[in-house]
Structure 1
Amino acid sequence: MNRIIPFQGTNNFRDMGGYRTADGRKVKFGLFFRSDELTALTEQDLTAFRTLNIRTIFDYRDEGEARHKPDPAIAGALNIRLSAVPEDQVTRINMPGKMESRDRSQHFIEDMVNSGFFKKFRADAMLIELYSKIAINNPSYKRLMDLIRLPDRLGLLHHCTAGKDRTGVGSALILLALGVPEETIMEDYLLTNEMMKAYNGEQLRRFAEHVDEAELRNIEQMLGVKEEFMEAVFGSIKTTYGSVDSYLAEEFGLRKEQREALQEMCLE
């Protein structure tokens, strides 16, 4: 089956099935999907979307993001939104804070340009800080990992704005629980750079008219994903808990028996 699902209104929509686990099994297709924002799905997209039998749409965005670009209501699908970046952390990492919908631009990078972020801070340093903290004691991921154990809530689509950072970490956690090796998880994570290449190129050309070269290179860092970002997640998990197994058990209650049950349901 094809992992990449080319909707007109998204740039980074894919099925997480087909990845091989350490014991040789594979993640089933049709259970877990990841994406960028859904607000621009066309009627044609929505018709195709309904054939995927998605029962849960899990949204990592904050309230302002979701109000500005709401998820479509899909018959038979439950929409759940729980921000993956707490407001206090947004402030600490110097991202534009809570904004009213009327204040938001059409692209989150434009909000950051207008806030002066790219003149004052390095995007890669901010992202390293975000990734090093986001997977630890995060209510959003705790809810996600509860949902993936419920057969009647699968297929599950999880998404944020670009489908790269918050969704990238959520995808890594799902795949870790299923026993997919870290190097394969990294491949899935870095696939975003290919999925978003054309779109990000358009954005860079657009912003090039309004910022200097240093800011533009900073924006480029923000638009993509890098190995060191996901390595920061793996590193914080092991530093905090000693191992992935301990992390999954303590953070999400996924001890050996629960993981085996999850894998029996989701692998083939």
Structure 2
Amino acid sequence: MSTTRDGAYPGQRIIVLEGTHNFRDMGGYQTADGRKVKYGIFFRSDELTGLTEQDLAAVQALNIKTIFDYRDDYEAQKKPDPVFAGVKNIRIAAIQADQASRINISGNAGNADRNQHVIVDMVKNGYFKQFRADTMMMGLYTKLPLGNPSYKRLMEMIQHSDNLGLLHHCTAGKDRTGVGAALILLALGVPEETVMKDYLLTNETMKDFNGKLLSQLAEHVNEVELRNIEHLLGVKEQFMEAAFGSIKKTYGNVDTYFSEEFGLTNQRRKALQSMYLE
């Protein structure tokens, strides 16, 4: 297992594996009071189905106790998670059924190739001829943080240290996982601007993979569709700002949001911080 940072694990942000493109440790980020999130507690990733035998051994060595999957039935059946001995696999769809068909064509892909990227499925189904991806993504991020059973379970789980290390993921590890990661970091007291940096790091980790995919698709779609695909593959500051804005519009501030949405009172957040910060 290699890394973009010096030194052996723990203490590395990006964990390079053969079968994933966006596997990261969420540790090392500084909170408003000067403490830092511990490494080796929270991990985020894209889909795990492509992990090699060497990857599986590397992930096993991270002492992960829970794999939390934000994907829906269709995604998980097409590309199932590996099962590790002694690790709990929990899956609760973060995108509800009425939105799913507009974000990942769930249930509309017919007999799609199991090894084919979901974007290819979407191109074949004419998705990018029908929808403006940037507008749809803004709407998605506005809805994701509110009344979401997946994040409610996530916030419940992280209050119990015996569930951790925790690896949470979706398909690309950027939108559903991006919001989930933002909520964890915010709950720990990491400032919004730092949370945004963690979110935007996906554009770096996925750059090569997305570039290759766009090149492959360029000969099959027109310019408008290609720009639409770019919106869906990357992350943008305005998307996460939509999530932050939705939280503040609904609750006024982050503290009230955590307390009323998840029962994470200031006292419970302090308990979280004492466990997971150093």
Q: 2:182 aligns with which of 164, 172, 177?
A: 172
Query: Any idea what SS the aligned residue of 1:211 has?
Result: coil
Whether the 8 Å contact between 2:19 and 2:48 is mirrored in structure 1 is yes
Query: Any idea what SS the aligned residue of 1:157 has?
Result: strand
Give the equivalent residue in structure 2 for 1:123: 133
Query: Any idea what SS the aligned residue of 2:196 has?
Result: helix
Give the equivalent residue in structure 1 for 2:107: 98
Spell out, residue by residue over 1:150-195, the C-alpha distance to the aligned partner (whole angstroms, 9 max, x if none): 1110000000000000000000000010000000000000000000
Letter in 2 for 1:138: N
Letter in 2 for 1:96: I
Q: Give yes or no for the alignment of 1:237 onto 2:247.
A: yes
Report the TM-score when normalising by structure 1. 0.97
Give the equivalent residue in structure 2 for 1:44: 54
Give the equivalent residue in structure 2 for 1:83: 93
Whether the 8 Å contact between 1:67 and 1:101 is mirrored in structure 2 is no
Give the equivalent residue in structure 2 for 1:226: 236
Q: Give yes or no for the alignment of 1:157 onto 2:172.
A: no
Report the TM-score when normalising by structure 2. 0.93
Distance 1:100 1:193 in 2: 27
Give the equivalent residue in structure 2 for 1:35: 45
Distance 1:98 1:62 in 2: 10
Q: CA RMSD in A?
A: 1.3
Give the equivalent residue in structure 1 for 2:14: 4
Query: Any idea what SS the aligned residue of 2:182 has?
Result: helix
Whether the 8 Å contact between 1:95 and 1:117 is mirrored in structure 2 is no
Give the paired residue count.
267
Query: Any idea what SS the aligned residue of 2:111 has?
Result: helix
Distance 1:100 1:146 in 2: 33
Give the equivalent residue in structure 2 for 1:194: 204
Q: How many angstroms does 1:213 deviate by?
A: 1.2
* Runs of 4+ with >3 A deviation: 99-105
Distance 1:149 1:98 in 2: 34
Whether the 8 Å contact between 2:20 and 2:48 is mirrored in structure 1 is yes
Query: Any idea what SS the aligned residue of 2:173 has?
Result: coil
Q: How many angstroms does 1:98 deviate by?
A: 2.3
Q: How many angstroms does 1:242 deviate by?
A: 0.6
Give the equivalent residue in structure 1 for 2:6: none
Give ranges in structure 1 of 5+ residues lacking alignment.
Answer: none
Give the equivalent residue in structure 2 for 1:58: 68
Task: Give the share of equivalent positions with the same residue, in percent.
Answer: 65
Pair 94,175 (structure 1): closer, same or farther in 2 beyond 3 Å: closer
Query: Any idea what SS the aligned residue of 2:67 has?
Result: strand
Distance 1:259 1:115 in 2: 44
